[in-house]
Amino acid sequence: MNEPIRILLVDDHPMVREGLRARLSGVPRLEVVGEAGDAAEALRRLDETDPHVVLQDVGLKDSNGIDLVQAMLARRPALCVLMFSMYDNPEYVHRALQAGARGYVLKETPASEVVAAIEAVVAGGTFLSPAVSRRLFRSQTVRPMLTPRESQILSALGRGESSKQIAKALALSVRTVEAHRQSIKRKLGLEGQAELIKYAVEHAREAP
């Protein structure tokens, strides 16, 4: 689109809105056309400003942010709603997307990522902050992705066993166990041994 992307900011904290406006004001193609601090004001401003994108917090003091997404889309089905939240809880993300939001960005993200998210949803795509994507991925059931042997090794790691102990228990070489550990990390999007161990401990009860 050649015209500026019109943005409505919805957050019940004035300082957050002020910060957002400041972060977006220097981007040539973006224009913040309005702000709202609650659901009722958001719906009024939606009609007054005719935005392309609503950048909205998940939690509003007077209402459920997910319900507001549905209300706005009922009025304007073509509207792009982008959630802007401090929470990366997978349940919040799922509910927001099911309600019709096009993306979910964390408040801690740099301005460049917020801009990328806005441009992505306006172009017809979706956008999730990388941290949100990782959390969503890890919240899913991982067993079908892992081989039975990898699941055994993940379970053993969760019990605090070393590669040497696992190799002995499963009649494998230590090198083979290490190869399985690398495969598990790759499949689960984990970086480093510390993340692997943390994940294994947190999911130890789920492992077969």
171-190: pLDDT as tens digits: 999 999 999 998 888 777 77
One domain for residues 156 and 127: no
Lowest mean pLDDT among 2-6, 41-45, 166-170: 2-6
Round to whole Å and give the CA distance between 169 and 84.
48
Strand, helix or coil at 153? helix
Round to whole Å and give the CA distance between 35 and 48.
11
Last residue of a domain, one of 109, 137, 165: 137
Query: How many domains, the chain?
Result: 2
- Across the range 52-80, mean pLDDT stands at 89
pLDDT of residue 168: 94
Lowest mean pLDDT among 21-30, 95-104, 163-172, 182-191: 182-191
One domain for residues 124 and 145: no
Last residue of a domain, one of 117, 137, 157: 137
One domain for residues 39 and 122: yes
Lowest mean pLDDT among 84-88, 155-159, 190-194: 190-194
- The residue type of 70 is Q
**Boundaries of domain holding 19:** 5-137
